[in-house]
Amino acid sequence: MSAASARQVTIIVLDGVGCGAAPDADAYGDEGANSLGNTAAAIGGMALPNLGRLGLGRLTTIEGVPPEPAPTGLYGRLREASNGKDTVTGHWEMMGIISERAQPTFPHGFPPEVLADFARISGRGVLGNKPASGTEIIAELGDEHVRTGKPIVYTSADSVLQVAAHEEVIPLPELYRICEEARAALTGDSAVGRVIARPFIGPSGAYRRDNEGRRDWALQPPGPTALDTITAAGLPVRGVGKIIDIFAGRGITSNLHALNNEEAIAETLRLLRHPEHGLIFANLIEFDMVYGHRKDPRGYADSLAAFDGALPEILGLLGPEDALFITGDHGVDPSPVIAHTDHTREYVPLLAQGYRLPAGTNIGTRSSFADLGATVLDLFGLPPLPAGNSFAADA
């Protein structure tokens, strides 16, 4: 590391928050997507004064968030260079990996050979095998699962294989073993981004997911990431939320799980109150998981407002050699403009403040999410990866 470098850098990913359709959005069925703009229009406007002061209203038209004349932050948009529009691809690209090939999805269910392998691994057979909402599929198949002992396999618009099981039928250790072995067996064209254990509890007619028992098994990143570079330099990378799952544990020195945005914000604040020379990397999941996929623009907007309300405290904990980045990993437009409930191929916002990030700087539209990781490495005085270009001001 150079003598002059950042003390602590914090990245907060607003999972599923986009700011307008990418130029290739039509190839993904997402023409007209704008998670922020369309949400505001759908509910008659949003109040996000703190994000607005950083420059959010300069990135796209957001009813209720006018362009700030003198932004207090550095601002711009990131365009995804990878193929795909999922969480893993987006986060990997932020940290320097451009995915030339989209991770496989299974809109018609998994092929017979995958199911045969899964049935062999579970030793119990299989139910389901289709894209579905997790709450809906346990309502549909939960009784049959309890009666037969067969785990429920389903997928979504993401590159995932999800396994639902009642904890009194398949105990958590057995469910985790099944998922871990399934992860190892899913290779080649079947190498989904994540295998997810989705335990549930409760009686027939009132099944509910046990979100605390959820576990994810992600693919290993196929090459070195900015996180690997940071940890190799002896600096901690402290994850919040599902960061450790997205990177399969690699390049993460510690991680605090969070079930919702409120917990993730609280954990991020706790880490900021105990600063270390290193990186805090947080994911706020509810924009995507709770509101975007369920087409709930009001809930999406309220969740943004809650984060906006926490932002002054977050900014107040930054020291003179600290930096904060706020961004997204893809869109999930919850408005009626987009008929489907999948992720949307969008630009994502980039708002930043702190060390070597001059207020009022417009970095324009960057050609890759990887510019974020490149900037973080630059702030720490660490060598760059092949992908990405720093947008930090010269020291």
For 335-374, b/e burial (b = at least 16 CB within 10 A) is: bebbeebbbbbbbbbbbbbbbbbebebebeebebbbbbbb
Helix, strand and coil percent figures for the chain, each rounded to 5? 35, 20, 45
What residue has token string 């990143």? 221
- The CATH T-level fold of domain 8-100+220-379 is Alkaline Phosphatase, subunit A (3.40.720)
pLDDT surpasses 70 at 2:
no
Structure confidence at residue 395 as a pLDDT band (50, 70, 90): low
- The C-alpha atoms of residue 141 and residue 49 are separated, in whole angstroms, by 45
Cα–Cα distance for residue pair 185/172, rounded to 1 Å: 20
- Which pLDDT belongs to residue 1? 46
Pairing of strands 362-366, 8-14: unpaired
∠ Cα 351 354 359 (to 5°): 65
Residue 53, classed as helix, strand or coil, is helix
Q: Kindly state the percentage of the chain with pLDDT values over 90.
A: 91
CA distance linking residue 306 with residue 287, whole number of Å: 11
Whether the model pTM is above 0.75: yes
Q: Pick from 12, 4, 6: which is nearest to 271 by CA?
A: 12
Which stretches within 103-171 are classed as H helix?
A: 112-122, 134-148
Task: Give me the pLDDT at residue 238, please.
Answer: 98
Task: Check: CB of residue 290 under 8 Å from CB of residue 17.
Answer: no
Residue tagged 């799952």 (tokens): 245
Looking at per-residue confidence, does 65 or 290 come out higher?
65
Looking at residue 225, the DSSP 8-state letter turns out to be: -
Burial group, residue 269, by CB count within 10 angstroms (0-12, 13-18, 19+): middle
| Residues 377, 133: Cα–Cα separation, whole Å | 38
Q: Is the pLDDT of residue 45 over 60?
A: yes
Residues facing residue 199 across a β-bridge = 165
The confidence score (pLDDT) of residue 211 equals: 82
- Mean pLDDT, residues 87-112: 94
Could you tell me which residues are beta bridge partners of residue 195?
A: 161, 217
Indicate if the pLDDT at residue 29 is higher than 80: yes
Query: Does 259 score more than 90 pLDDT?
Result: no
Please name the residues in contact with 92: beta carbons below 8 A apart, sequence gap of 6 or more: 82, 99, 221, 225, 246, 247
CA dist 66 and 55 (Å) reads 9
As its CATH architecture, domain 112-218 has: 2-Layer Sandwich (3.30)
Chain segment 115-142, per-residue pLDDT in tens: 999 999 999 999 999 999 889 999 999 9
**Tens digit of each residue's pLDDT (9 = 90 or more) over 301-347:** 999 999 999 999 999 999 999 999 999 999 999 999 999 988 999 99
Confidence at 65, pLDDT banded by 50, 70, 90: very high
What does the alpha-carbon distance between residue 161 and residue 179 come to, in Å, rounded to a whole number? 9
Distances (CA, A) of 114 to 66, 151, 195, 220, 288: 50, 14, 13, 20, 27
Domain ranges of the chain: 8-100+220-379, 112-218
> What percent of the chain clears pLDDT 70, i.e. is strictly above it?
99
| pLDDT (tens digit per residue) in 143-187 | 999 999 999 999 987 899 999 999 999 999 999 999 999 999 999
What mean pLDDT is predicted for residues 99-106? 90
Per-residue pLDDT tens digits for 362-372: 999 999 999 99
Q: What angle do CA 224, 226, 231 make, to 5 degrees?
A: 95
Average pLDDT value for the chain: 96
